[in-house]
Structure 1
Amino acid sequence: MPPSSSRLPRPPETVEHCPVDTALAVIRGRWKGTILWLLSERPMRTSELRRRIPRISERMLIRHLQELVGDGVLDRHDAGTVPPHVTYSVSEYGRTLEPVVRALCSWGGDHLDRHTPAR
């Protein structure tokens, strides 16, 4: 059995606000994990994110970026120029999600390996 420090906290008898659901609500969305993963490398402009995620629609990309900024996970930097030059980066608060994103990435890779037929 793992040491007690690595165990999950014991859930209360009744759950009104589940911390797991709260965390997942912030990163829930078809492309939010991908956006966070890409921006963990370095800040990027909207157009670069769009190129790096070819299957995402412009509307969905903007929506996810706005939600992540609203939750304080991303910072939006507007150069105030015409044409607009907007760059997104992971905020200081968003950096606290990096271990979670790393763990999800690792688990996802293992899951892909497990479920991808050998070639």
Structure 2
Amino acid sequence: MENIPKGLPPFEDCAKKIRAIDDTMELLSGKWKLSILARLSYKPMRYSEILKDIEALSGKVLSRELKDLETNGLIIRTVTATKPPAVTYSVSEYGMSLRDLSDSIAEWGLQHRDRFRCSLKADQLQDD
């Protein structure tokens, strides 16, 4: 412990944050949960709309992810008494608290994509 650089937070603070990250990752685990939440944060959608919007997602997985998100209070499932009944999913107020996180992930993804493209272009120029 004597070699810890000055200015770092105490280990207890780090451990607390790491546990919180683990909890969040467990809650959002699965390939599609954050992607579903991001879409629903822009507009409510029906099951078929989500399924069509995320091409690689199967109906079975979508159903499971929606149930998990609803169980954790991140989305709201609204059934309209029509024939046939219409089911719409929207992000709850609690789920909207993840909007900054998804925006940050999106921004990082855009930067990474640009960086990756630049490195590909540089590699292509070196090959010429």
Structure-2-length-normalised TM-score: 0.76
What's the counterpart of residue 55 of structure 2?
Answer: 54
1:24 is the counterpart of 2:46: no
Letter in 1 for 2:61: M
Q: Report the Cα distance in structure 1 between the residues aligned to 2:85 and 2:11, rounded to whole angstroms.
A: 47
Deviates more, 1:10-19 or 1:37-46: 10-19
Q: CA RMSD in A?
A: 2.5
Query: Which runs of structure 1 show a deviation greater than 4 angstroms over 4 or more consecutive aligned residues?
Result: 8-11, 13-17
Q: Report the Cα distance in structure 2 between the residues aligned to 1:29 and 1:69, rounded to whole angstroms.
A: 15
What's the counterpart of residue 12 of structure 1?
Answer: 12
Shift of 1:68: 0.5
Structure 2 regions of 5+ residues with no counterpart?
Answer: 1-7
1:104 is the counterpart of 2:105: yes
Change (3 A) 1:10 1:22: farther
What's the counterpart of residue 79 of structure 1?
Answer: 80
Deviations 1:57-113 (A, max 9, x none): 000111111101111110110113442311000001111111111111111221222
Structure-1-length-normalised TM-score: 0.82
Percent identity (aligned): 37
Letter in 2 for 1:12: E
1:44 is the counterpart of 2:45: yes
Q: Report the Cα distance in structure 2 between the residues aligned to 1:69 and 1:84, rounded to whole angstroms.
A: 19
User: Which structure has the bigger radius of gyration?
Assistant: 2
What is the DSSP-based 3-state SS (H/G/I as helix, E as strand, rest coil) of the residue aligned with 2:93?
A: coil
Shift of 1:115: 2.3
Change (3 A) 1:90 1:20: same
